Amino acid sequence: MEWEYSGENRSGDHICYISDLSKAKAHYPGWEVTRDLKGIFIEIAEAWAGRAGKRAYVR
């Protein structure tokens, strides 16, 4: 995956996003967050690497 960091916000980007999951949890009482953000990024990197036929190197 190729990426580039820019300190500038893109037009239309949210500066901060906070989710209130209380309504989802009320409708689905058995549901809970099971994966952390780092794990999600690792999964994305591994999927991209797999499509490119390479191994993902994550820290």
Residue 55 has pLDDT above 80, yes or no: no
Rounded-to-integer distance, Cα 59 and Cα 38, Å: 10
Rounded-to-integer distance, Cα 39 and Cα 24, Å: 22
Domains in the chain: boundaries: 34-59
pLDDT tens digits for range 10-46: 888 877 777 899 999 999 999 999 999 899 988 988 8
45 in Cβ contact with 1 (< 8 Å): yes
Rounded-to-integer distance, Cα 46 and Cα 49, Å: 5
